[in-house]
Amino acid sequence: MKIVLRQDVLKLGEAGTVQEVANGYARNFLIPQGMAVVATSGELKTAAHNQAVKDRKIVKQEQAMQTVADKIDGQRLEFTARAGSGGRLYGSVTAGDVAERLTAVIGEEVDRRRVILEDPIRTMGEHRVTVHLVGRLRPQVTVIVLGEQDETEGALATEEIDAAGDSGTAPDATTNERAEQHPTPGASGHPEPGSGHDDSKTETVDQGPPRPEVDGVPGASGDIERRGGAVAEVAEDGPAVEVEDEMDGDR
């Protein structure tokens, strides 16, 4: 079905142009929404007259905008954005960003609606972008997106590389310190954590300074006195103590 657009329709055409579309698209959407009318003979004559007027107007606009188009064409606009290791941006560069940067560079106001960008730019690299000023004036610019590595991600990657060893893991600082203090497993008198217990082997370490023996008793610091038999008690750190003989009934 032929229709005449009453207003601009994205990806279809501008107002006043004659288009041919599917019957359902025209009857169910474009015409009910007031975006188009059926292209009758009268509508076609009106559209032709309006187009002629519009063309003459566009020619004048092109002449007025030619200087701006020359300033825009060939511009290289650089943007820096945070990106992941795969070059994917965490944010995006939009048509508004491009228009704002162009306005600052050329000193002329650029409407963001004139920047043809169907989807925001989300990847690093160079991207060609068209600016539709008017009529046939469609200068192009190059948008260069430079990635700024995420510091958190870079730090995590560095830790993973440093931690990778022959076994795939690296000892932490606590393990290294423990190894320096006790280079041999079990040398501190205790089994190494994670090792099996061996009842056939007992390892100990001396605790405290050595003590002299007194009458064969280690560490005794007092006098020892025995009476009447083999059973005796030892007193430490004090005066001599009498030991009662089990066989002596008088004591």
Considering the domain architecture, whether residues 137 and 114 belong to the same structural domain is answered as: yes
Q: What is the mean pLDDT of residues 158-170?
A: 51
- Domain boundary (43, 64, 85) is at 64
Asked whether residue 109 falls in the same domain as residue 76, the answer is yes
CATH classification at residue 59: 3.40.5.10
Specify the pLDDT at position 159.
Answer: 55
Q: Final residue of a domain: which of 119, 152, 185?
A: 152
| The pLDDT of residue 251 | 42
- Residue 3 confidence (pLDDT): 96
Q: What local confidence, expressed as pLDDT, does residue 235 receive?
A: 46
Mean pLDDT of 95-119: 95
Mean pLDDT of 69-73: 96
> Quick one: 146 and 78 in the same domain?
yes
Residue 226 lies in a domain: no
Q: Kindly indicate the confidence band of residue 194, based on its pLDDT and cuts at 50, 70 and 90.
A: low
The reported pTM is: 0.51
Task: Judge if 59 and 75 occupy the same domain.
Answer: no
Report the pLDDT value the prediction gives residue 114, as an integer from 0 to 100. Answer: 95
Exposed / middle / buried, residue 201 (Cβ in 10 Å: 0-12, 13-18, 19+): exposed
Given 152, 185, 217, the domain boundary residue is: 152
54 with 83, same domain? no
Tens digit of each residue's pLDDT (9 = 90 or more) over 33-64: 999 999 999 999 999 999 899 899 999 999 99
pLDDT of residue 209: 58
Say if residue 123 is in the same domain as residue 144. yes
Q: Considering its fold, how many domains does the chain have in total? A: 2
| Structural domain containing residue 98 | 71-152
Residue 208 belongs to some domain of the structure:
no
Let me know whether 56 and 12 are in one domain: yes
Residue 90 sits in the same domain as residue 107: yes
Whether 11 is in a domain gets the answer yes
Residues 84, 43 share a domain: no
Lowest average pLDDT, out of 62-66, 98-102, 219-223, goes to: 219-223
Domain assignment present for residue 214? The answer is no
Q: In CATH, what number is assigned to the domain containing residue 91?
A: 3.10.430.100
Residues 52 and 75 in one domain: no
Whether 39 and 86 share a structural domain:
no
Q: What is the mean pLDDT of residues 126-139?
A: 95
One domain for residues 75 and 58? no
